[in-house]
Amino acid sequence: MISFNPKDLSTGRLHGYLLSAIAPRPIAFASTIDADGNPNLSPFSFFNVFSANPPILIFSPARRVRDNTIKHTLENVETVKEVVINVVNYDIVHQMSLTSTEYPEGVNEFDKAGLTMLPSDEIKPFRVAESPVQFECKVNEIVHLGKEGGAGNLVICEVVKLHIANEVLNADSTINQEALDLVARAGGSYYSRTKKGFFEIPKPLKTMGIGVDAMPEYVRNSMILTGNNLGMLANVEALPNEEEVNEFIKDISERYPDIKSASHRDKHKLARNYLSYGDVESAWKLLLS
C-alpha cells in the first residue's frame, strides 16, 4: 500500500484521489438566481442530507482548483439565499452533465441543456421539471472552508417544500428506488447508475458546447430523440458543414440505400442508434442531411 501526506500532493492530485475513492456520490442539481433574477443551473457532487428535523441538505460549490475562481452558484446563494436542489436520474444525466460547462454569466443553463423551468411555490429559483424529486430550500448558512483553489463552501439548506413525481411513488406513497433510477458521481468521467453500475460520460467541452437552444428546431423538438440524446448532441463546439454531411451520406448509402429519401423520423431513429454507441459526429451528419 502506498501512503501520502496530503500536504505533499498537489491540490489537483489530491482532488483526484478524493473524488475517485469517495464514490459514488449523490448529485445536487442546484438551481439558483442572481440579484437580477437570471436563472443558473449547475450540478454538485459534494452533497448529502444531514438532518430530518429540521430537514437539512448541504452541498459544496468548491473553489476551482486550476485558477481559484468561484462558481456562479456560490455567488448567487450569497446574494439570494434560496436554492432548488433537484435530484438527477438516468433520464437527464447527459443534460445535467452539459450544465457543468462554464458558460458565461447570464447564460441560462436550462435553455442550453433543453430542460424546463418550473416555478417554485415558496422561493424564487426555478425547479427542473424533468427531475423526479425537487427540494425548495432556504439557505441558512454558508461556511467557507478556505481561500485557496479546491476549498469547499458548505451551503447549508433547509427544505421548505419538496415535490415528488407520482411515477416514482409506491402505492403507500414511499419512493420506489428502482423507478427513481438515480445516478451518482464518481472519479474522472465515471458515473454510477444505482441499479446498473458504472458508466462514462465524456466531460463537457472546455470550449463550450453549442447547447440545445442552438440546435435546428426539428432536432430540438424531435419526438424520437430523448433528453439524454439532446444533451449528447449539444456538447459539440460546431455542427458539421455541408461537405462533411454529403460525404457521410455517400459513405453510408450502400448500407442504407434509401437514406437520402428517408423521413425525419427514420433519420432520427438511426441517429439515436449512433448515439447509443457514443458516435455524436455521425448522428449530427445524419440529422443534418
pLDDT value for 163: 98
- Is 193 within the bounds of a domain? yes
Let me know whether 27 and 74 are in one domain: yes
* Low pLDDT (below 70) residues in the chain: 205-206
Domain end marker among 162, 179, 200: 200
pLDDT value for 205: 65
- Is 27 within the bounds of a domain? yes
pLDDT value for 89: 97
Let me know whether 41 and 166 are in one domain: yes
- Is 259 within the bounds of a domain? yes
- Cβ–Cβ contacts within 10 Å for residue 150, how many? 18
Q: How far is CA 152 from CA 10, 46, 55, 59, 170, in A?
A: 16, 9, 21, 9, 37
pLDDT value for 55: 97
pLDDT digits (tens, 9 = 90+) for 206-229: 678 899 999 999 999 999 999 999
Let me know whether 222 and 196 are in one domain: no
* Full domain range(s) for residue 268: 212-287
pLDDT digits (tens, 9 = 90+) for 257-288: 888 888 989 999 999 999 999 999 999 999 99
- Is 1 within the bounds of a domain? no
- Is 237 within the bounds of a domain? yes
Give the Cα separation of 199 and 287 in Å (integer). Answer: 26
pLDDT value for 240: 94
Let me know whether 53 and 138 are in one domain: yes
- Is 243 within the bounds of a domain? yes
pLDDT value for 12: 87
